[in-house]
């Protein structure tokens, strides 16, 4: 409580200090704009009046000079009177002393003033008093962490009944890192965070955005999660497939070599969910890339067996890209939708029988659920031996298929 209270005080103080600085900057900018407007009106309005004043002063000065010259001509000597009078008369004829520039009426002369509406203070006061809230609990909280191979399934839930969420935002960081980073934004309430190092603690937090709102809610209480399961990886070295740097994505290249690409190790355990996500590679032409074939397969097996070009064999269960399901090499009557670009295929298994040999010839039975495109098939897979862990694999006859496993 003390830690979150201290953090909340710091956030509030920083936010309002930022607001003060921003408001002062905006008010200063508005003041400068109004002062510049006053200067512009003053300069534009006073200029014609200044010019009118100069003309009047020039006319008065000229008339004063002419008057003095006339007085001099009248009181001058007799021999010079006629000459000065002639000069005075010529100047008087050429100077128009009876004309003045047009002077605007008083009502047309600008008289500057400032109009300041006090309602701004009222508006600001109302907005400021409603700005910001302090919540004792965030509207969403982290609910559960489920270990996945090389990942963590994070679930969260809404804890405020009055809050109507539109989107959620999940962040994480290594326990040794300083900053959180976004890993998911959307409407779902769970997400598998991949690329998680095994046996390393990660911190998670989630927030939400209310319906029709732009701002995010306060963050949930950060919680720590980790996984002890090593990530699923494809085995390297098979000529027909190219792998990503983390070896969790396999691309069927254009090599003529074919065969089954297996996992590096038997890392799939009963009780887990194994997911294949497929996308068509955009590097090749769509009309010739990712062409499905009946021999294509995605599935799990007891052991690696080289020399096969498909998992449609004994001790394996798989789905073909056309949706056919095979158990120990035999096609089932139930069929799933065809696997296309963006499809997700999941395998779930649980042990349902352990003991002496059954009437079906096996002593170990797994209940298998294969899901694809919102449909699923469930069947029992009978084996001769107990299998605590299984390999996964894939095979494609044509290039262009890309498979992500997690």
- Sorted by where each begins, the domain ranges of the chain are 1-130, 140-225, 241-405
pLDDT, position 284: 28
240 compared with 279, residue with greater pLDDT: 240
pLDDT, position 81: 63
pLDDT tens digit sequence for 83-108: 777 777 777 677 765 666 666 677 77
Angle at 204 between CA 14 and CA 404, to 5 degrees: 135
CA distance 244 to 404: 10
The average pLDDT across 285-304 equals: 75
Query: Is a pLDDT exceeding 60 seen at residue 41?
Result: yes
DSSP H or E run through 251:
strand 249-252
CA distance 332 to 334: 5
Residue with token string 């969260």: 156
Strands, E assignment, 211-248: 223-225, 241-243
| CB neighbourhood size of 137 (10 A) | 11
Cβ–Cβ < 8 Å for 324, 335: yes
DSSP codes, 19-66: HHHHHHHHHHHHHHHHHHHHHHHHHHHHHHHHHHHHHHHHHHHHHHHH
CA distance 348 to 148: 13
The average pLDDT across 25-52 equals: 88
The average pLDDT across 162-175 equals: 93
pLDDT tens digit sequence for 198-234: 999 999 999 999 888 888 998 998 999 999 998 999 9
State the average pLDDT for the chain: 85
Cβ–Cβ < 8 Å for 310, 295: yes
B/e letters for 81-112, b = 16+ CB within 10 Å, e = fewer, are: eeebeeebeeeeeeeeeeeeeeeeeeeeeeee
pLDDT, position 378: 95
Using DSSP's 3-state secondary structure scheme, residue 271 falls into coil
Structure-token pair, residue 131: 């700005």
Total length of the chain? 406
pLDDT, position 286: 24
pLDDT tens digit sequence for 328-367: 999 999 999 998 888 889 999 988 865 554 444 456 889 9
Q: pLDDT > 70: what percent of the chain?
A: 89
Beta strand 223-225 with 202-210 is antiparallel
CA distance 171 to 226: 14
Cβ–Cβ < 8 Å for 297, 278: no
DSSP H or E run through 402:
strand 401-405
Query: Is a pLDDT exceeding 60 seen at residue 287?
Result: no
For the 140-225 domain, the top CATH level (class) is: mainly beta
Using DSSP's 3-state secondary structure scheme, residue 205 falls into strand
Which of 245, 257, 303, 267 is closest to 395 using CA atoms? 257
pLDDT tens digit sequence for 186-201: 999 999 998 899 999 9
In sign, the C-alpha dihedral spanning 107, 108, 111, 113 is: positive
Using DSSP's 3-state secondary structure scheme, residue 208 falls into strand
Query: Is a pLDDT exceeding 60 seen at residue 58?
Result: yes
The average pLDDT across 58-84 equals: 73
Q: How confident is the model at residue 22 (pLDDT cuts 50, 70, 90)?
A: very high
Q: How confident is the model at residue 280 (pLDDT cuts 50, 70, 90)?
A: very low
pLDDT, position 391: 95
Distances (CA, A) of 362 to 51, 271, 390: 115, 20, 17
Structure-token pair, residue 361: 């010839």
pLDDT, position 289: 39
Q: How confident is the model at residue 78 (pLDDT cuts 50, 70, 90)?
A: low
Query: Is a pLDDT exceeding 70 seen at residue 285?
Result: no
CA distance 193 to 233: 16
pLDDT, position 357: 47
DSSP helix, strand, coil percent of the chain (3-state; round to 5): 25, 30, 40
The average pLDDT across 274-300 equals: 64
The average pLDDT across 263-291 equals: 65
pLDDT, position 335: 92
Q: What are phi and psi of 106, to 5 degrees?
A: -65, -35
DSSP codes, 125-193: HHHHHHS----SS-SEEEEEEEEETTEEEEEEEE--TT--EEEEEEEEEETT-S--EEEEEES-SEEEE
Query: Is a pLDDT exceeding 80 seen at residue 113?
Result: yes
pLDDT, position 358: 46
Q: pLDDT > 90: what percent of the chain?
A: 45
First to last CA, the chain: 38
Query: Is a pLDDT exceeding 50 seen at residue 277?
Result: yes
pTM above 0.75, yes or no: no
pLDDT, position 80: 61
The average pLDDT across 117-138 equals: 83
Q: Which residues contact 179 (CB under 8 A, 6 or more apart)?
A: 173
For the 241-405 domain, the top CATH level (class) is: mainly beta
């Amino acid at each position: 409580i003390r830690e979150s209270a201290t953090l909340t005080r710091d956030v509030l103080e920083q936010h309002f200090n930022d607001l003060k600085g921003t408001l002062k900057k905006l008010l200063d900018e508005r003041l400068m704009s109004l002062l510049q407007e006053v200067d512009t009106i003053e300069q534009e309005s006073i200029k014609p009046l200044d010019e009118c004043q100069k003309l009047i002063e020039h006319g008065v000065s000229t008339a004063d000079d002419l008057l003095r010259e006339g007085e001099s001509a009248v009181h001058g000597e007799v021999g010079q009177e006629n000459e000065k009078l002639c000069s005075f008369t010529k100047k008087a004829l050429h100077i128009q002393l009876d004309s003045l520039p047009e002077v605007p009426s008083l009502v047309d002369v600008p008289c500057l003033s400032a109009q300041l509406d006090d309602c701004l203070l009222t508006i600001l006061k109302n907005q400021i008093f409603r700005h910001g809230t302090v919540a004792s609990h965030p509207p969403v909280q982290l609910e559960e962490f489920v270990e996945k191979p090389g990942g963590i399934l994070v679930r969260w839930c809404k804890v405020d009944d009055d809050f109507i969420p539109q989107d959620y935002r999940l962040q994480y960081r290594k326990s040794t890192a300083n900053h959180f980073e976004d890993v998911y934004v959307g409407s779902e309430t769970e997400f598998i965070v991949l690329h998680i190092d095994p046996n390393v603690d990660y911190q998670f937090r989630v927030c939400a955005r209310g319906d029709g709102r732009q701002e995010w809610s306060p963050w949930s209480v950060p919680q720590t999660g980790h996984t002890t399961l090593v990530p699923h990886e494809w085995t390297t070295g098979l000529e027909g497939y190219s792998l990503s740097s983390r070896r969790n994505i396999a691309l069927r290249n254009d090599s003529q070599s074919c065969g089954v690409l297996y996992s590096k190790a038997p890392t799939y355990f009963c009780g887990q969910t194994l997911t294949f996500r497929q996308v068509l590679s955009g590097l090749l032409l769509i009309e010739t890339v990712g062409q499905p074939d009946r021999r294509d397969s995605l599935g799990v097996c007891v052991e690696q067996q080289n020399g096969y070009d498909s998992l449609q064999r004994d001790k394996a269960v798989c789905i073909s890209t056309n949706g056919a399901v095979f158990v120990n090499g035999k096609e089932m009557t139930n069929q799933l939708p065809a696997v296309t670009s963006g499809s997700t295929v999941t395998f779930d298994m649980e042990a349902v029988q352990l003991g002496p040999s059954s009437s079906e010839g096996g002593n170990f039975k797994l209940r298998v659920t294969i899901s694809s495109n919102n449909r699923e098939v469930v069947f029992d897979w009978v084996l001769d031996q107990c299998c605590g862990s299984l390999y996964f694999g894939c095979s494609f006859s044509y290039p262009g298929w890309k498979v992500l496993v997690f």
